[in-house]
Structure 1
Amino acid sequence: MKNNLFVCNTYSDSISIIDLDMFMEADRINLNNSNLDKVGPCNICTYKNKLLVVNKYSNSISIVDMNKGEIENNFFIGMNCNDVKVCGDKAFVVCSDSNKIIKYNIAKEQIEEQISCGEMPYSIDLYKAKQLIITANMNNDSITMANYDRNENIRQIRVGNYPTKALFGIDGNNIFICESNIGSDQCGSISILSSKDLRVLYRISVGNTPVDMCINQNLCFVTNFGDGTVSIVDLNKCIELDRIEIGGMPKGILTYRGNMYVGDSYNNILFCVDLLKKNKKVLKVGREPSGMLLS
């Protein structure tokens, strides 16, 4: 499937499949067959040409056939799963209630390791070239970095207030951290941290309560949940170039072919913003759109 965007609708327990060429919802995958307990899909990645969805309310991950639109399997992981990344047959899942990274072998259907991290890990990223993993830990203003293959050299690094996301740069030399400052009148920030000596090199102010970001070459796109905007940050010059009004409560974000896709978790809509012309298209999706994936 080409030019499709998969959007997790957390409150609707579903995945919207968006045809980007037509900018329409081509299909919607229901993840709750019982309609009893909430599932809460909140983030998504790929695993062997399938979707791997992490569910915060059912404390699980789901394997979904994206062509058939069917759930193949569900695995219980741990309490309050928030994000997932995959390397080979290993899924690395952050569980916010237990403050753990769960290393789960999908092929063997078993938990292999539990790696301790900071309080309330909210996101996770891998740098496969160096077998490194990082989490953003909201409740103790830190990120955790470790070698995920050998479960060693675990480092807790102090950063700004209430970090919601941490991403490795393409070359692995820098780590980019979204510091939300949630609950404060102050703006949030994007910090650039050296992965070699773990020093904060730059801190760039953005909007109110930034919660998610994506990086495209030298630009970082940041959703500011608290003021309904998206900040565009130049990572070379370390400045905010622009701030685009979106409205509502923007959360998940991706860029593709000159467009920016932003989920408004309050109004349950997906924005497509032409980054050159600043034109906006709007599409209704499920309730509380959050994590997104291009495939």
Structure 2
Amino acid sequence: MHKMVERFDICRGEGMGNNFKNMIFIANMGEDTISALNLINMHEVYKIRLNKGLLYKVKKPTLGPHHMMLDYNKKYLYITNCHNGSISIVDLIQNKVIDDICVGSCPSHMVICKKNKSIYVSNADSNSISAISLENRTLLAQIPVGRMPHDIKLSRDHQKLYVTNVGSNTLTIIDTLKNDVDQSIYVNPNPYHITLNKEGNLIFVVNTSFSRRRGGSITVLDSKDMKILDRIRVGKMPVEAILGKDESVLYITDAELNAVHVLNIKEKKLIDRVYVGRMPGSIEKDEKNQYLFVGNMQDNSITIITLQNLKCLKNIPVGIEPSGIICI
């Protein structure tokens, strides 16, 4: 473990303190910052600078914050840095980076496994998953998976970790009790992101496309026997998906069409499309199910969509290449 303490700065405004209500945070991959947005006023309150001193003046980002997650007490913010093979831990009470942990090359996504008190990190260029102790922040295991692992999600009981391998067209299932691979299955080309329903019996894999002619799709699997139930064609370049409140629809960002698709799962067809900024990727919703938040990579903005009528409420400028989004 490599520590780099005190690498933190507030670009403007006051620190977070311990008041996180009605806030969302956005990882700006192109400038090594985190934007803090207030949902009441619908604007950026301040930025958290992850690089300090001379490194911050370098135009090219050296960290590349990509994905974020909160611990269960909402005290620590964990951030994957895809450019330097590490995750940063920000203490939200002290307003500073308290630790950096070295993982694999090009870390993408993370989850916290409450069952074994571990953090799992996907390493896209190392073709591996790093298992890190949540208590002492040391590396427990480096688990080999398929090529270019990107997104990871835990099963409802936290005994299985699902990994999408973009380069292998597979989904790897890891036994979290053993920290070893249980099986890998084919899930159609370019599996990029993954989401599960609340019951945990259905897995939805977003298969993106790097060809305008081919288009993308959603692969639906039964988590019990890991059998493919369906493949639904969707858009041109789908990136990430999130289930609606009643789990009857999927909201799917499409980086090619600059839109969010609304897919009726039971009927297997698109029922709506909301146009947002350029190259939308990440998508999140608030706990009250009032809004969708979409990160537009080329516009350097966040689009807020009202879930009641699926209308764009506002586009908020943030940092360069907004990637991960977290709602408090």
Identity, in percent, stands at 27
Matched, 1:258 2:258: no
For residues 157 and 236 of structure 1, the distance between their equivalents in structure 2, rounded to whole angstroms, comes to 24
For 1:27-42, list aligned pairs within 5 A. Answer: 27-33=46-52, 34-35=55-56, 38-42=62-66
For residues 215 and 55 of structure 1, the distance between their equivalents in structure 2, rounded to whole angstroms, comes to 27
Matched, 1:124 2:143: no
Q: Deviations over 1:127-185 (max 9, x none)?
A: 24151101111111111112112234521110121111122221111111000022341
For residues 261 and 226 of structure 1, the distance between their equivalents in structure 2, rounded to whole angstroms, comes to 18
Q: Which residue is equivalent to 1:19?
A: 38
Matched, 1:235 2:265: yes
For 1:126-165, list aligned pairs within 5 A. Answer: 126-152=154-180, 154-165=182-193
Matched, 1:76 2:102: yes
For residues 93 and 210 of structure 2, the distance between their equivalents in structure 1, rounded to whole angstroms, comes to 39
The counterpart of 2:91, out of the listed 61, 65, 68, is 65
Deviation at 1:236, TM superposition (A): 3.1
Report how many residues are paired: 295
**Does the residue aligned with 2:167 lie in a helix, a strand or coil?**
helix
Matched, 1:46 2:70: yes
For 1:76-225, list aligned pairs within 5 A. Answer: 76-88=102-114, 89-152=117-180, 154-216=182-244, 217-218=246-247, 219-225=249-255
Contact kept? 1:205, 1:240, Cα under 8 Å:
no
For residues 268 and 68 of structure 1, the distance between their equivalents in structure 2, rounded to whole angstroms, comes to 28
For residues 275 and 170 of structure 1, the distance between their equivalents in structure 2, rounded to whole angstroms, comes to 19
Q: Deviations over 1:71-105 (max 9, x none)?
A: 11111111110111112441100001111111011
For residues 121 and 37 of structure 2, the distance between their equivalents in structure 1, rounded to whole angstroms, comes to 25
**Does the residue aligned with 1:129 lie in a helix, a strand or coil?**
coil
Q: Which ranges in structure 2 are unaligned for 5 or more consecutive residues?
A: 1-19
Deviation at 1:41, TM superposition (A): 0.6
2:270 aligned partner, one-letter code: E
Matched, 1:246 2:270: no
Higher gyration radius (CA): 2
The counterpart of 2:299, out of the listed 224, 249, 267, is 267
**Does the residue aligned with 1:107 lie in a helix, a strand or coil?**
coil
**Does the residue aligned with 2:21 lie in a helix, a strand or coil?**
coil
For residues 65 and 177 of structure 2, the distance between their equivalents in structure 1, rounded to whole angstroms, comes to 27
Contact kept? 1:209, 1:225, Cα under 8 Å:
yes
Contact kept? 2:274, 2:312, Cα under 8 Å:
no
Q: Over aligned residue pairs, what C-alpha RMSD do you find?
A: 1.6
For residues 271 and 209 of structure 1, the distance between their equivalents in structure 2, rounded to whole angstroms, comes to 18
Give the TM-score of the pair, scaled to structure 1: 0.95
Which moves more between the two structures, 67-76 or 141-150? 67-76
Deviation at 1:292, TM superposition (A): 0.8
- The structure-2 alpha-carbon separation of the partners of 1:57 and 1:152, relative to structure 1 and needing over 3 Å to count, comes to closer
- The structure-2 alpha-carbon separation of the partners of 1:94 and 1:244, relative to structure 1 and needing over 3 Å to count, comes to same
Q: Which ranges in structure 1 are unaligned for 5 or more consecutive residues?
A: none
- The structure-2 alpha-carbon separation of the partners of 1:185 and 1:31, relative to structure 1 and needing over 3 Å to count, comes to same
1:201 aligned partner, one-letter code: L
For residues 155 and 279 of structure 1, the distance between their equivalents in structure 2, rounded to whole angstroms, comes to 42
